[in-house]
Chains A and B, each alone.
Chain A
């Protein structure tokens, strides 16, 4: 078994597409119309074009808002992305206006930080395990 796709709920797919590609640097993989307004919209890492896809899923279901509000209030991220240098990525994203709820925190061999994806979620970035 392989994890080939995972998803995050996003408030607005067009806005999410811009944030995840232009700000985070992912590459759009699939974009298929689904019903009247929704799309099957996935992105992948530019380093792994055939790697795990992230589905940017519409957040229309009524359970999504209370679920995400509770997680965001407590600072809990819904996904984790690996970067080579958390502090460098933090500086880069701050310069682009991204809001962090947790600044880079070194804990032994692992450094993490948490930011707001502007689509309703908190995302954690972490150094790759050595």
Chain B
């Protein structure tokens, strides 16, 4: 996972809100994520817009999608966050890896 994708994904407040909501409950449909953004956060954003945010989060490895029969659910994956935090909180003795400028 390229760190740039991760920082870019986290740089947007709407995407951080999506992660907040997935932290409360993993395994949400696109419809549920849209409902939470509009009803709980008063974010007037189209389904297509939410889809695009989810694609960015998925590219960064923070969201994973899972097909279950005819439904598609979105799950949170916090593993990439641990890796970027460890860079400063628990640095490797030999210094940062070359691919994480």
* Residue among A77, A107, A108 making CB contact with B31, cutoff 8 Å: A77
A105 to B25, CA, bound (A): 10
Q: Are A75 and B36 in contact (CB under 8 A)?
A: no
- Give the interface size bracket for B toward A: 10 to 19
Proximity string of chain B (14-49) to chain A, C-beta cutoff 8 Å, 1 when within and 0 when not: 000000000001001111100110011000000100
**Contacts of A74 on B, CB cut-off 8 Å?**
29-31, 47, 72
Q: Are A107 and B39 in contact (CB under 8 A)?
A: yes
Q: Are A75 and B31 in contact (CB under 8 A)?
A: yes
**Contacts of A123 on B, CB cut-off 8 Å?**
none
A114 to B35, CA, bound (A): 12
**Contacts of B32 on A, CB cut-off 8 Å?**
75, 101-102, 105, 114
How many residues of chain A are within 8 Å of chain B by beta carbon? 17
Instruction: List CB contacts (< 8 Å) of A99-114 with chain B.
Output: 101-103, 105, 107-108, 110, 112, 114
Q: Are A102 and B36 in contact (CB under 8 A)?
A: no
Q: Are B35 and A107 in contact (CB under 8 A)?
A: yes
A90 to B23, CA, bound (A): 23
Across chains A and B, which 6 residue pairs bring their CB atoms closest together, nearest first? A75-B29, A75-B31, A107-B39, A74-B30, A72-B70, A102-B32
List B residues at the A interface (Cβ < 8 Å): 25, 28-32, 35-36, 39-40, 47, 70-72
Q: A73-B71, A75-B32, A107-B40 are in contact. List 10 more A-B contacts (CB 8 A).
A: A72-B70, A74-B30, A74-B31, A74-B47, A75-B30, A77-B31, A101-B29, A101-B31, A101-B32, A102-B32
